């Protein structure tokens, strides 16, 4: 299975945006792209969009909908994100509150099913790399089973060095390839901190670092290309 696993230094750091840009870049090159996310929570915070919301609402879509649009995919919500919860909580707690359990054995199958017929799978994690999907089963464990190169979304500013280097270490100690760190949103006028962070992460982390500017989400034609392989 060819693909990438997009993780991040935490929640709300730009994983979905980065995954969407990677998915759209491949789709623009003519590839059939599938997207997957083991669990989505916080759906209570989104206005009901109904099926088929278009790009004009890109800034307010839940993850599975933005990913589907960016990939140009016709996958259903269930195929993209088999576990979806209203409260903005960790997936294992979201499942508990919903009176269910996420079955860790099913997740790699669901990811492979999502990828069936596609040339590239873009999988977005949940929260950071060590977030539990089920008791005793972390995002890391799914990433390891899928064995895809890992993309790390991270903030460009103060605080990112520790978070990013910790995540890189966790990715590598899981035996996975850290393909690229994407600093997002990269400021139009970066200061000394951002410039130094990009260099320091590349140097200490021995990793490729990309800078993703603030995008107009509703204008995908303006997005830059982001290739992982």
**Restricting to residues 160-199, which ones interact with ligand ADP according to CB under 6 A?**
184-185
Does the protein bind Mg ion through residue 65 (CB under 5 A)? no
The partner in contact with residue 206, picked from Mg ion, ligand ADP, none with C-beta cut-offs of 5 to 8 angstroms by kind, is none
CA pair distance 219, 107, nearest whole angstrom: 32
Q: How far is the CB of 134 from ligand ADP (least distance, A)?
A: 20
**Restricting to residues 76-105, which ones interact with ligand ADP according to CB under 6 A?**
none
Q: How far is the CB of 104 from ligand ADP (least distance, A)?
A: 21
Active-site residue, selected from the candidate residues 4, 17, 19, 37: 37
Does the protein bind ligand ADP through residue 212 (CB under 6 A)? yes
Under 8 Å between Cβ of 183 and 191: no
Does the protein bind Mg ion through residue 16 (CB under 5 A)? yes
For 113, other C-beta atoms within 10 Å of its C-beta total 15
Q: Per DSSP, which regions of the chain are E strands?
A: 3-8, 33-36, 39-40, 83-84, 120-124, 132-134, 137-138, 150-154, 178-186, 209-213
Q: Whose structure tokens read 């059939």?
A: 32
Q: How far is the CB of 23 from ligand ADP (least distance, A)?
A: 12
The partner in contact with residue 212, picked from ligand ADP, Mg ion, none with C-beta cut-offs of 5 to 8 angstroms by kind, is ligand ADP
Instruction: Pick from 3, 4, 5, 15 the residue near ligand ADP by CB under 6 A.
Output: 15
The partner in contact with residue 14, picked from Mg ion, ligand ADP, none with C-beta cut-offs of 5 to 8 angstroms by kind, is ligand ADP
In this complex, which beta carbon is closest to Mg ion, that of residue 15 or of residue 92? 15
Q: Cite the DSSP H helix spans in 29-128.
A: 63-71, 77-80, 91-97, 106-115
Under 8 Å between Cβ of 5 and 138: no
The partner in contact with residue 142, picked from Mg ion, ligand ADP, none with C-beta cut-offs of 5 to 8 angstroms by kind, is none
Under 8 Å between Cβ of 8 and 60: no
Instruction: Pick from 13, 102, 179, 198 the residue near ligand ADP by CB under 6 A.
Output: 13
Instruction: Pick from 17, 40, 53, 152 the residue near ligand ADP by CB under 6 A.
Output: 17
CA pair distance 159, 60, nearest whole angstrom: 27
Q: Decide: helix, strand or coil at residue 126.
A: coil
Does the protein bind Mg ion through residue 160 (CB under 5 A)? no
Active site residue 15: no
Does the protein bind Mg ion through residue 25 (CB under 5 A)? no
**Cα 70–chain centre separation:** 12
Give catalytic residues, as residue numbers.
37
């Amino acid at each position: 299975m060819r693909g990438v696993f997009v993780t991040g230094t935490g929640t709300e750091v730009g994983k979905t945006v980065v995954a969407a840009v990677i998915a759209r870049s491949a789709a623009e090159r003519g590839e059939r792209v599938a997207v997957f996310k083991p669990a989505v929570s916080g759906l209570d915070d989104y206005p009901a969009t109904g099926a088929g919301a278009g790009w004009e609402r890109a800034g307010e879509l839940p993850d599975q909908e933005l990913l589907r649009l960016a990939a140009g995919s016709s996958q259903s919500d269930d195929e993209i994100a088999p576990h979806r919860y209203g409260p903005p909580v960790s997936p294992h707690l979201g499942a508990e509150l919903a009176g269910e359990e996420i079955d860790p054995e099913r997740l790699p199958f669901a990811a492979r099913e999502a990828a069936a017929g596609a040339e590239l799978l873009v999988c977005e994690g949940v929260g950071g790399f060590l977030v539990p999907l089920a008791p005793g089963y972390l995002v890391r464990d799914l990433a390891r089973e899928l064995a895809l190169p890992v993309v790390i979304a991270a903030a460009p500013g103060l605080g990112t060095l520790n978070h990013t280097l910790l995540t890189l270490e966790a990715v590598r100690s899981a035996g996975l390839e850290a393909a690229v760190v994407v600093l997002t949103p990269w400021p139009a006028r970066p200061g000394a901190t951002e410039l130094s962070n990009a260099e320091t992460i590349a140097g200490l982390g021995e990793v490729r670092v990309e800078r993703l500017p603030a995008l107009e989400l509703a204008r995908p034609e303006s997005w830059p290309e982001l290739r992982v392989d």
